[in-house]
Amino acid sequence: MKKTVLALALALTACSSTPDPRPLSIPEAERLALVRFSNYTSGIRAFTASVPSPGGKLVLDGRVDFVNHVGYAGMRTDGRNDQFSQGLVQWNPGRMAFAMNPSTKPVDPVPVVDWQVRNLQERGSELDGALRLLVNLGADRPENSQLLLQSSARWLRSDKIGDTAVDVFEGPKQKDAAEARLRYWIDADGKLRKLEAKLGNSEELAVFDFTTSKEQPVQVIPPLRS
């Protein structure tokens, strides 16, 4: 019975020019299962991010250490250039630190300034959700591809990032959720090139672009150590 339905779906999609989203194949599930492990293996990657927030779109440019789960970025508010709208941010899965600074990129060595430190909120803040998501994108082992196969995760379409061919996947829905919150752009080696996330209650998506590996380590500021 199940086979008939699947065959029908295939026959239908074959007629249209752009294929519809479909369940994962086994190699696709294996590739999606590797995303966080591949980040872990890379160690540190540079990223840029655009995160919607009630005060305006936040733009981040920095790097994440997926092994030590710590990030460091310059942050500014799109369309503003006053001193309160930009600064440096460092964070780990539990806490973030902010210091006003005119740079839009991380400053190294990390300046000795007065960092404001606070706990990341569990919900409600798009920025906090984005920061937590970033440092949790690394794991020392792959996900279970067989569980992914059985989840709602889907292949959405083919795409290109620069000259690199990628596939766009929708991640699995969280339990009882109406829709999936994450979309992954993944190259042939299972490396994450871009991520879109629905954070908090925002209708607008946060967008993360990942570029180079082999970035210099993040010098963690004292309040975030331990």
Partner 1 sequence: MLLVAGCSSAATPKLGPEITVPAQLSTIQAAVDAAREGATIVVAPGVYKESVQVRTKGLTIRGTQRGSVIIDGEVKRANGIVVTAPDVSIQNLTVRNHTLNGVLVTGLNENGGMGRGSTGYTKLDPDKFPPLQGFRISYVTASNNALYGIYAFDAQHGVIEQSYASGSADSGFYVGQCKPCDIVVRGNVAERNAVGYEGTNASGQMYVLGNRFSGNRVGVTSNSDYQEAFVPQEDATLVGNLVSDNDEALSPAQADGAFGLGIGIAGGTRNVVSRNLVTGNPGTGVALGSSEDLPPLDNRFEGNVISHNGQDVRYVASKRAPGRNNCFDGDRCYDGAGDPMPKPAAPRGIPFNQVAAPPAQPEMPNGPLPDKAPNVEKYGVPAEDLFGDRAAVRS
Catalog residues that contact partner 1 under the rule CB under 8 A: 26, 29-31, 33-34, 37, 40-41, 140-147, 149-151, 172, 175, 190
The distance of closest approach from Cβ of residue 156 to partner 1 in the complex, given in angstroms and rounded to an integer, is 19
Q: Which is nearer to partner 1, 62 or 171 (CB)?
A: 171
The distance of closest approach from Cβ of residue 66 to partner 1 in the complex, given in angstroms and rounded to an integer, is 11
The distance of closest approach from Cβ of residue 52 to partner 1 in the complex, given in angstroms and rounded to an integer, is 27
| Residue 170 to residue 185: CA distance in whole angstroms | 9
- Find out whether 131 and 118 touch, Cβ atoms under 8 Å: no
Residue 78, both tokens: 């799109």
Q: Which is nearer to partner 1, 34 or 51 (CB)?
A: 34
The distance of closest approach from Cβ of residue 182 to partner 1 in the complex, given in angstroms and rounded to an integer, is 14
| Residue 171 to residue 32: CA distance in whole angstroms | 8
Q: Which is nearer to partner 1, 162 or 214 (CB)?
A: 214
Q: Which is nearer to partner 1, 107 or 149 (CB)?
A: 149
Residue 178, both tokens: 């109406």
DSSP 166: E
Q: Which is nearer to partner 1, 34 or 99 (CB)?
A: 34
Listed in order, strand segments (DSSP E) in the chain are 22-23, 44-51, 58-65, 70-77, 86-91, 95-100, 116-119, 154-161, 164-170, 182-187, 192-197, 206-210
- Find out whether 98 and 66 touch, Cβ atoms under 8 Å: no
The distance of closest approach from Cβ of residue 211 to partner 1 in the complex, given in angstroms and rounded to an integer, is 23
